[in-house]
């Protein structure tokens, strides 16, 4: 009903708009006196020090959070991280043992492959920690430790606020680990905490300007193919941007590591192909702009997405979208929001069933 949707036309719109609150509810109870306090988990400093690697397992968008997490944990905590989709992890004889932390990410806590992967990890002797939204779900119950995301119930099949809160927990956990392992200074630790606190209001700012994204969606909703490209964290965001779009608009889309384009995919770029170029990472900005030139030379239309610090993106791209400035490690939390809105508006303009896209289920409880 309209009341359940809080006055919005779709649950997806409501859930996109709930993100500032969801992220705040997930982060703020875990910040006390300028420190990250994870009362949720029993892991000690000594146990964290003994992990030789982290193995992340999840499906769908939760897997994409895992791809972001790999970059974040490796950079901040200097622990090797591998990420698998759960259906692959189970059957590849993973090298997982007592020194492995298996991090499981799931909104529902009931995804069959993810649950089976968790059980396999436990059988192999790993320590397990899950990031779950549904309290008391199977994955939460079966993990050694669980950190709940406080997104509240998510109804739309395409996840938005659950993704954002999973990412928020990843940041809390990675900064927490890094501080315990001594891989970041106290100053850097303190600055991440300040940046994390600011995330909800920055998400709010993006939502206030959603009409800019609606306008871009109106330009592109008729396209046949979309390529999302990025490097590093922007590559991880490309995966989610592409999935979101194809799930609800049925437009064929692909995500590509920008540097890999020339090894095959660039052959698909023709006059008018839409390329969404994510370029939030300053160190890689120039490299991304050369990829933009490559696709433009083959006729692509390019929509660039970056932070307010990189206004010069307009020189290379046909259209540009900006998110507020933040520490670059945290920009995925902001960059995902315009990608969600873009998919939402495109799907709406195409008249698709946004909340219940064909062939998809909210939670896949069969293999």
* Chain residues in the site for ligand G6P (CB under 6 A): 59-62, 106-108, 111, 114, 157-159, 360, 362-364
Name the token pair of 235: 């590559």
Nearer to ligand G6P, 36 or 115 (CB): 115
> Is the CB of 219 or the CB of 358 nearer to ligand G6P?
358
Distance between CA atoms of 120 and 55, rounded to whole angstroms? 12
CB of 265 to ligand G6P, least distance (A): 24
End-to-end CA distance of the chain: 32
Of 53, 122, 287, 362, which is the active-site residue? Answer: 362
Across the strands, what pairs with 31? 36
Say how far apart CA 314 and CA 292 lie, in whole Å. Answer: 11
Q: How far is the CB of 292 from ligand G6P (least distance, A)?
A: 29
Reduced to 3 states (helix: H, G, I; strand: E, B; else coil), residue 354 is: coil
By beta carbon distance, the residue nearest ligand G6P is: 60
The least distance separating ligand G6P from the CB of residue 209, rounded to whole angstroms, comes to: 25
Min dist CB 199 to ligand G6P, Å, is 21
The closest of 220, 252, 238 to 305, measured between CA atoms, is 238
For ligand G6P, which is the closer residue by CB, 151 or 326?
151
Evaluate whether 335 touches 234 at the Cβ level (below 8 Å): yes
Q: Is 362 a residue of the active site?
A: yes
* SS3 at position 308: helix
Q: How many residues does the chain have?
A: 367
Nearer to ligand G6P (CB atom), residue 91 or residue 215: 91
Write the CB contacts of 135 (distance below 8 Å, at least 6 apart in sequence). Answer: 148
* Catalytic center residues: 362
């Amino acid at each position: 009903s309209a009341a359940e949707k809080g006055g919005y036309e779709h649950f997806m719109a409501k859930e996109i708009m709930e993100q500032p609150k969801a992220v705040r509810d997930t982060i703020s109870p875990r910040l006390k006196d300028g420190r990250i306090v994870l009362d949720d988990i029993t892991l000690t400093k000594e146990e964290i020090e003994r992990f030789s690697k982290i193995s992340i397992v999840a499906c769908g968008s939760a897997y994409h959070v895992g791809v972001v997490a790999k970059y974040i944990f490796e950079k901040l905590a200097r622990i090797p991280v591998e990420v698998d989709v759960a259906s692959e992890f189970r059957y590849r004889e993973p090298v997982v043992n007592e020194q492995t932390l298996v991090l499981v990410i799931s909104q529902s806590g009931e995804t069959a492959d993810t649950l089976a992967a968790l059980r396999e990890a436990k059988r192999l002797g790993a320590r397990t920690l899950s990031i779950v939204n549904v309290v008391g779900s199977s994955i939460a119950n079966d993990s050694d430790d669980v950190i709940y995301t406080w997104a509240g119930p998510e109804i739309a099949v395409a996840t938005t606020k659950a993704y954002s809160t999973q990412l928020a927990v990843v940041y809390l956990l990675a900064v927490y680990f890094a501080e315990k392992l001594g891989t970041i200074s106290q100053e850097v630790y303190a600055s991440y905490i300040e940046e994390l606190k600011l995330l909800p209001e920055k998400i709010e700012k993006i939502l206030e300007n959603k009409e800019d994204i609606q306008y871009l969606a109106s330009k592109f909703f008729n396209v046949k193919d979309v390529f999302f490209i990025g490097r590093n964290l922007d590559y991880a965001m490309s995966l989610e941007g592409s999935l979101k779009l194809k799930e609800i608009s049925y437009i064929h889309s692909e995500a590509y590591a920008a540097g890999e384009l020339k090894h095959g995919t660039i052959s698909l770029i023709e006059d008018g192909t839409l390329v969404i170029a994510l370029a939030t990472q300053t160190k890689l900005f120039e490299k991304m702009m050369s990829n933009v030139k490559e696709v433009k030379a083959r006729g692509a239309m390019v929509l660039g997405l970056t932070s307010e610090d990189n206004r010069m993106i307009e020189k290379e791209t046909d259209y540009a979208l900006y998110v507020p400035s933040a520490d670059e490690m945290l920009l995925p939390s902001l960059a995902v929001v315009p990608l969600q809105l873009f998919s939402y508006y495109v799907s709406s303009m195409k008249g698709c069933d946004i909340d219940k896209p064909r062939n998809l289920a909210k939670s896949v409880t069969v293999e």
